[in-house]
């Protein structure tokens, strides 16, 4: 028991240690300050800008920034769709894999385009190496960099700066942040046993005289950007529970740190932009404490084990169902909460086998989206809760709400409300439809409380751009069930990604145009412990009020049923 919690504690200590280092570096990159990579990357970036016709110093408005995202994403989506469609005729396909069904292909393209990477297929039996690397790997970089660019543009707007240029931010996010760290991380993973090869599936004879097929491929490079960019889509069907994606404790640690590093660092980067490191650390510790509580709830439940199983065995034993023994209950619990908190979606164990407390924690993360949040969008959602808290507390004391010296008015609250309201709409409406019609119910393996969690989790994962799943929905099976899940998930995938991004950019644009208001003795300070506690309370209350009925019908009810011994 002690060793498991010690592992969790040491991992979190590393996260705390690197947050300020990486956060300051990211701030320097997007503030245009000098970095160590300038001699190498400046010529490359200039070449890219000339090639695509981008004027580096041209600032965009909120609508221009949003349109640039939509247009570029549309083009990238079409290109990737065609690459996978014609994968049988393209190189790096040693196993001769053909084209996936049209609905699986459409769902896969949009899923990776939106940084969700929700997978209704097994990569090793569906996609060629070329499709995995040149198509999906390409989107792993661009979708992550898109989210990062949105987060930085939002921070710029709140701090009174111009929003910047999307194409410049996209390029710098890849060349200065994602690519260098991915190269170093991939080399480390390769050294620790993650394969990197273009050789075909290995066929071996077993001791019993049978035949075994061992899938492999260029996994190390794929794995690192999968974790660093909060993509989460696995090269293999079982994701980071596969020994080729995550073979040992060392690779597990690297991938865990990679998963949380940028979301945590962006909170500190905000402090650098706002010249208020104190507030950044307060927000960091607010998120960190909520995260640790959820990890504690999940880990304790996994340590105690399933009472029905323990009662049958007559011994107290951790819940090891769905766990990889090389990680155990502690690292699986930490990973489950972290992957749903950071919106990575990668798994190193099966979430479907978590105790109800673990399912509660993972769903709560998907609902709230600020513990730690998506790539770039997480810091934006967090600051939107701060803006909302400023507005509500200002009304309570009868003062005009102000944030960073700028007034919060009707337009900002409307846009912030859109960001917060689109999420439950994208989750609850599809979930209600899925639970009401037999075409979807036929694919649900658990008709009870757990089955409700499975359905809600699928759409929450899509809307939060997370991609993980509780499984058990037959979404990889032949039509009509796979067709239903592939198509019904498109609405939360698209709505959960692009509607908030547009609202975030318009809000940032609106704030950037406001005149600063001189600070007075009556100005509400947002860098105090009291204000941070109120922000946490408002975020938790809004999350509970919106999604508590779903949690009560799912993991909470399942937990009570399990505790009663039925």
Element holding 204 (H helix, E strand)? strand 202-205
Residue 182's contacts (CB-CB under 8 Å, 6 or more residues apart) are 141, 221, 224, 225, 228, 229
d(CA 276, CA 507): 21
475 pLDDT higher than 70:
no
39 pLDDT higher than 80:
yes
Give the residue numbers spanning the domain of 513: 2-563
Distances (CA, A) of 190 to 25, 131, 159, 244, 313: 26, 21, 41, 10, 41
d(CA 48, CA 145): 15
437 pLDDT higher than 90:
no
Region 248-257 average pLDDT: 94
- pLDDT band (50, 70, 90) for residue 300: very high
Contact between residue 80 and residue 109 where contact means Cβ atoms under 8 Å apart: yes
Q: How many domains does the chain have?
A: 1
Least confident of 109-113, 402-406, 534-538: 402-406
Mean pLDDT value across the chain: 91
d(CA 276, CA 296): 31
Residue 479's contacts (CB-CB under 8 Å, 6 or more residues apart) are 101, 103
Among the ranges 82-96, 304-318, 463-477, 509-523, which has the highest mean pLDDT value?
82-96
d(CA 190, CA 487): 37
Residue 209's contacts (CB-CB under 8 Å, 6 or more residues apart) are none
- pLDDT band (50, 70, 90) for residue 477: low
Q: What is the pLDDT of residue 522?
A: 67
The stretches of 398-524 forming alpha helices (DSSP H) are 410-436, 438-441, 449-463, 481-488, 490-512
CB atoms within 10 A of CB 564: 8
Going 4 to 322 to 264 to 525, the CA torsion angle's sign is negative
Region 143-150 average pLDDT: 96
Least confident of 232-241, 407-416, 510-519: 510-519
**In a 3-state reduction of DSSP, which class is residue 45?**
helix
Taking the CA atoms of residue 463, residue 266, residue 542 and residue 143 in that order, the dihedral angle to the nearest 10 degrees is -10
Least confident of 11-15, 136-140, 308-312: 308-312
For every residue of 77-126, DSSP letters joined together read: HHHHHHHHHTGGGSSS-TT---PPPHHHHHHHHHHHHTT----SS-HHHH
| Residue-wise pLDDT tens digits, 367-399 | 999 999 989 999 999 999 999 999 988 888 777
Give 313 or 404, the one with higher predicted confidence.
404
């Amino acid at each position: 028991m002690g060793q498991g919690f010690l592992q969790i504690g040491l991992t979190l200590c590393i996260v705390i240690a690197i947050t300020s280092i990486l956060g300051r570096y990211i701030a320097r990159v997007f503030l245009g300050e000098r970095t160590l990579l300038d001699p190498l990357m400046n010529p490359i970036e200039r070449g890219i800008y000339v090639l695509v016709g981008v004027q580096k110093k041209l600032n965009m408005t909120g609508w221009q920034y949003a349109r640039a995202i939509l247009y570029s994403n549309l083009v990238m989506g079409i290109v990737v769709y065609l690459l996978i469609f014609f994968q049988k005729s393209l190189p790096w396909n040693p196993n001769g894999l053909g084209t996936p069904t049209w609905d699986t292909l459409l769902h896969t393209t949009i899923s990776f385009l939106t940084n969700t990477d929700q997978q209704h297929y097994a990569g090793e039996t569906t996609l060629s190496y070329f499709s995995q690397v040149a198509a999906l790997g390409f989107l792993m970089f661009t979708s992550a960099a898109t989210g990062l660019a949105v987060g930085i543009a939002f921070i710029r707007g709140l701090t009174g700066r111009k929003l910047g240029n999307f194409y410049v931010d996209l390029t710098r996010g890849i060349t200065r942040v994602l690519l260098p760290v991915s190269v170093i991380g991939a080399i480390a993973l390769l050294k620790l046993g993650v394969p990197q090869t273009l050789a075909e599936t290995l066929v071996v004879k077993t001791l019993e005289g049978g035949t075994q097929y061992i899938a492999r491929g260029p996994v190390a490079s794929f794995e690192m950007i999968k974790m660093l960019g909060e993509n989460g889509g696995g090269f293999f069907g079982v994701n980071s529970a596969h020994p080729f994606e995550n073979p040992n404790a060392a690779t597990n640690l690297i991938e865990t740190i990679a998963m949380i590093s940028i979301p945590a660092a962006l909170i500190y980067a905000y402090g650098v932009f706002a010249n208020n490191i104190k507030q950044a650390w307060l927000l960091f510790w607010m998120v960190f404490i909520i995260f640790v509580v959820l990890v504690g709830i999940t880990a304790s439940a996994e340590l105690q084990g399933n009472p029905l199983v323990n009662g049958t065995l007559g011994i107290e034993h951790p819940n090891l169902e769905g766990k990889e023994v090389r990680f155990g209950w502690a690292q699986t619990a930490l990973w489950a909460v972290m992957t749903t908190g950071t919106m990575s979606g990668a798994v190193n164990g099966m979430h479907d086998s978590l105790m109800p407390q673990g399912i509660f924690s993972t769903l709560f993360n998907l609902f709230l989206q600020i513990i730690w949040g998506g790539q770039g969008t997480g810091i934006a959602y967090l600051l939107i809760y701060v803006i909302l808290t400023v507005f509500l507390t200002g009304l309570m004391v009868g003062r005009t709400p102000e944030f960073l010296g700028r007034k919060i008015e009707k337009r900002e609250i409307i846009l912030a409300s859109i960001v917060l309201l689109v999420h439950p709409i994208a989750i609850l409406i599809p979930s209600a439809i899925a639970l009401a019609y037999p075409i979807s119910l036929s694919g649900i393996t658990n008709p009870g409380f757990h089955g409700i969690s499975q359905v809600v989790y699928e759409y929450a994962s899509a809307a939060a751009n997370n991609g993980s799943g509780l499984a058990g929905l037959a979404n990889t099976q032949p039509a009509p069930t796979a067709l239903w899940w592939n198509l019904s998930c498109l609405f939360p995938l698209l709505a959960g990604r692009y509607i908030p991004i547009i609202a975030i950019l318009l809000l940032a644009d609106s704030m950037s145009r406001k005149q600063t208001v001189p600070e007075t003795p009556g100005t509400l300070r947002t860098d105090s412990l009291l204000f941070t506690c109120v922000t946490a309370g408002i975020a938790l209350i809004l999350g509970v009020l919106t999604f508590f009925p779903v949690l009560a019908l799912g993991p909470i009810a399942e937990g009570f049923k399990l505790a009663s011994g039925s």
